[in-house]
Homo-oligomer: A and B are copies of this chain.
Amino acid sequence: MTSRQTRPRDRADRGIPEATVARLPVYLRALSSLQERGVATVSSEELAAAAGVNSAKLRKDLSHLGSYGTRGVGYEVEYLVYQISRELGLTQDWAVAIIGVGNLGRALAGYGGFASRGFRVAGLLDADEGIVGQEISGMTVVTIDRLEDVIAEGGVSIAVIATPAGAAQGVCDRVVAAGVTSVLNFAPVVLSVPEGVDVRKVDLSIELQILAFHEQRKAGGPGDYEPLTSGGTPPGPTQYVEAVAEA
């Protein structure tokens, strides 16, 4: 799961609910796919199926952008693509800096989904001098020392943090000080940022843990194992791992 850390409330948001915003990219993807197949018009029912959502929800989401459908017919694919892109701000291009060029940073640098949506990688930065200077996906890795320069010169407004956990907060502080107001964080830490800065987090192991929870449920649930002290107070310094084996 990913979560927003900042802006718990902000309903001067031009009225578009956060839940809707989160789904617009999904609709956009489905629409692009239809467009490639030469489909000109689509009904809410069809598009909803392609996006994996309820059709009433889809219509309500789209209604927040304005009335772009034709009753009895559906939505014009190309027009809708444009309207959603515009609403999401994808008609302008965004410069992003990727900080941390480990395995994940490399994967991100080569990810095609960025360029195709108007995101331009303005810099790859790393602290490891062994990596600095390497060529990754056609870009040369720059030393972290030049972070502020890269942000200023590239007009970077979004930073992607793919560093180890320990380095993330420090990097975050620096990019924010350099004027970045949106951060996509892959490091497994909760970043703290000043008011007005948006942070979104992607955490691979959290997703797996949520799946494990449901998987366990299907298999019978943790109820198989009784609570240690039935009902009661936390015991002293016990090895809880042993307790599992014992049950």
Residues of B within 8 A of A92 (CB): 216
Chain B contacts for A66, CB-based, 8 A: 227
Contact count band on A: 35 or more
Q: Say which residue of B29, B76, B157, B240 sits within 8 Å of A188 (CB atoms).
A: B29
Return chain B residues, CB-CB under 8 Å to A87.
213, 222
Whether A234 contacts B68 by the Cβ 8 Å rule is: yes
Asked whether A203 is an interface residue with its Cβ less than 8 Å from the other chain, the reply is yes
Residues of B within 8 A of A1 (CB): 2, 22, 25, 200
Proximity bits, A1-34, B CB within 8 Å = 1, else 0: 1110101000001100000011011101110000
Residues of chain A touching chain B, judged by Cβ–Cβ distance below 8 Å, are 1-3, 5, 7, 13-14, 21-22, 24-26, 28-30, 50-52, 66, 68, 70, 76, 78-79, 81-82, 86-92, 94, 96, 102-104, 106-108, 110-111, 113-114, 116-119, 157-158, 160, 181-184, 188-190, 192, 196, 198, 200, 202-218, 221-223, 225, 227, 233-235, 237, 240-241, 243-244
